[in-house]
């Protein structure tokens, strides 16, 4: 790899291999894209002309807009439907197999970062079914589409596009070589480019971050991400609770997903654990509704909140938690049977 190739992110060589800007939707003349290129040149020393040529090779992808846009008719939230997508036997058995295959790596990550192996496995299971589907969207085009043609979240995706070009320069990779989700998430852990730059670790020690072909770096990086966001080793995640008759849970739920409800406040409202026990720690109360079925109420502790830093949905975090618990139970039974 030549110094010039590295310096220009491989853009000149790339242009020779791709169709002309006239053949595809071009961002080279897009006002917001031009401002982005100028800012990248000023802040990070990129060649503005080369960056505009690269953006000219990015394609507007209408699929990305359709996928990220909220539905015109939002469906009714159903916890049981959502849960069913991630708690089936295939996902659980796949998690046990993944754990057995990468047992030493998971134990090393757990020891270093304090995050249980089952939580790391469950996140990879929910995100990509253990790497079986990591996304096929060309990432520069996906992020350019969202950064320049989707105003509601343009600022977020401009930052991610910025981080993608920085990541490519740091990894000495062609920026158009990345493939991932429609929102720019990459590899086994589905990290956005900014998360890769901030939280990814070279866990196998081979001198590079590889999220595409091997989960070892992903295992260490997920553990590092959760630890950096405040994971508390050995502490609880969540407990299902019963509410006394007449208690309106809305004000408690409205307190937000970050734990802020004092244990004494929880007790004084008559909230009790359905199974297990309440913990003397600040918590958040959240609901998991299913049409035609009993709404579940849970207290989430600091570690539950940390999982929501990966994805801010309480449905998502609870799916990770319950998948982790189910994988742990099945893994332990298998280990016991093999003794």
Residue 48 is assigned to a structural domain of this protein: yes
Letter string b/e over residues 141-151, b meaning 16 or more CB atoms within 10 A of that residue's CB:
bbbbbbbbbee
pLDDT for residue 71: 81
Per-residue pLDDT, averaged over 150-178, amounts to 97
The answer to whether residue 127 scores a pLDDT higher than 70 is: yes
> Tens digit of pLDDT for each residue in 2-38?
333 334 444 444 443 343 333 345 899 999 999 999 9
Half-sphere exposure of 171 (CA within 13 A, CB side): 22
200 and 296 inside one domain: no
**Are the beta carbons of 24 and 55 closer than 8 angstroms?**
no
218 and 175 inside one domain: no
Residue 315 is assigned to a structural domain of this protein: yes
The answer to whether residue 298 scores a pLDDT higher than 80 is: yes
Structural domains in the chain (count): 3
242 and 284 inside one domain: yes
Q: Point out which residues pair with 23 in neighbouring strands.
A: none
pLDDT for residue 25: 52
Q: What are phi and psi of 172, to 5 degrees?
A: 55, 45
CA dist 126 and 131 (Å) reads 10
> Tens digit of pLDDT for each residue in 244-274?
999 999 999 999 999 999 999 999 999 999 9
CATH of the domain at 218: 1.10.530.10
The active-site residue, picked from 127, 138, 160, 162, is 127
221 and 275 inside one domain: no
Residue 65 is assigned to a structural domain of this protein: no
169 and 295 inside one domain: no
Residue 101 is assigned to a structural domain of this protein: yes
Residue 37 is assigned to a structural domain of this protein: yes
Look up residue 22 and give its DSSP letter. G
Domain that holds residue 109: 80-134+186-234+306-339
Domain boundary among 185, 209, 224: 185
The answer to whether residue 132 scores a pLDDT higher than 70 is: yes
Question: Per the structure block, which two tokens stand in for 41?
Answer: 């040149």
Question: Per the structure block, which two tokens stand in for 273?
Answer: 């654990």
195 and 264 inside one domain: no
pLDDT for residue 76: 83
Question: Per the structure block, which two tokens stand in for 315?
Answer: 């449905």
Residue with tokens 């995706």: 157
> Using CA of residue 227, residue 231, residue 235, residue 240, what is the dihedral sign?
negative
Question: Per the structure block, which two tokens stand in for 240?
Answer: 């299902």
245 and 115 inside one domain: no
123 and 197 inside one domain: yes
Domain boundary among 270, 285, 300: 300
Residue 327 is assigned to a structural domain of this protein: yes
Per-residue pLDDT, averaged over 229-252, amounts to 97
Per-residue pLDDT, averaged over 332-339, amounts to 88
- Find the helix or strand (DSSP H, E) in which 138 lies: strand 137-138
122 and 209 inside one domain: yes
289 and 181 inside one domain: no
User: What global pTM score does this model have?
Assistant: 0.90
Q: What angle (nearest 5°) sits at the alpha carbon of residue 201, between those of residues 329 and 180? A: 80
Question: Per the structure block, which two tokens stand in for 8?
Answer: 């220009």
Q: How far is CA 333 from CA 86, 152, 275, 320, in A?
A: 20, 48, 21, 20
Known catalytic membership, residue 172 = no
Residue 70 is assigned to a structural domain of this protein: no
CATH of the domain at 142: 1.10.8.350
Report the relative pairing of strands 284-288 and 272-273 from DSSP bridges: unpaired
Per-residue pLDDT, averaged over 108-116, amounts to 98
228 and 244 inside one domain: no
Residue 64 is assigned to a structural domain of this protein: no
CA dist 42 and 40 (Å) reads 5
158 and 108 inside one domain: no
Q: Point out which residues pair with 214 in neighbouring strands.
A: none
> Tens digit of pLDDT for each residue in 165-215?
999 999 999 999 999 999 999 999 999 999 999 999 999 999 999 999 999
The answer to whether residue 143 scores a pLDDT higher than 50 is: yes
pLDDT for residue 12: 43
pLDDT for residue 13: 43
């Amino acid at each position: 790899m030549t110094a010039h190739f590295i310096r220009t992110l491989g853009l000149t060589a790339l242009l020779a291999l791709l169709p002309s800007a006239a053949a595809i939707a071009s961002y080279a003349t897009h006002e917001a894209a031009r401002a982005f290129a100028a800012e990248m040149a000023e802040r990070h020393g990129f060649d503005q002309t080369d960056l505009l040529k690269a953006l000219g090779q990015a394609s507007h992808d209408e699929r990305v807009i359709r996928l990220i846009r909220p539905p015109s008719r939002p469906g009714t939230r159903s916890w049981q439907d959502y849960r069913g997508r991630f708690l089936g036997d295939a996902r659980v058995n796949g998690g046990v197999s993944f754990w057995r295959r990468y047992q030493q790596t998971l134990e090393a990550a757990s020891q270093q970062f304090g995050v249980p192996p089952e939580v790391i496995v469950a996140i990879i299971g929910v995100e990509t079914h253990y790497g079986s589907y990591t996304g096929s969207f060309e990432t520069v085009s996906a992020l350019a589409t969202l950064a320049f043609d989707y105003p509601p979240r343009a600022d977020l995706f401009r930052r991610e596009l910025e981080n993608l070009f920085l990541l490519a320069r740091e990894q000495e990779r062609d920026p158009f070589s990345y493939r991932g989700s429609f929102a720019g998430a990459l590899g086994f852990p589905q990290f956005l480019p900014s998360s890769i730059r901030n939280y990814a670790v070279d866990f196998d020690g081979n001198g590079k971050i590889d999220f595409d072909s091997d989960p070892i770096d992903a295992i260490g990086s997920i553990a590092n991400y959760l630890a950096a966001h405040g994971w508390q080793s050995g502490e609880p995640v969540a407990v299902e609770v019963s509410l006394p008759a007449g208690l309106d849970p809305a004000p408690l739920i409205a307190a937000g997903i970050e734990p802020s409800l004092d244990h004494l406040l929880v007790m004084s409202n008559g909230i009790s654990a359905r199974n297990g026990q309440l913990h003397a720690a600040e918590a958040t109360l959240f609901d998991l509704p299913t049409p035609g079925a009993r709404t579940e109420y849970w207290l989430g502790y600091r570690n539950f909140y940390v999982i929501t830093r990966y994805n801010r949905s309480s449905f998502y975090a609870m799916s990770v938690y319950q998948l982790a618990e189910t994988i742990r139970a099945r893994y332990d039974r298998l280990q016991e049977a093999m003794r």
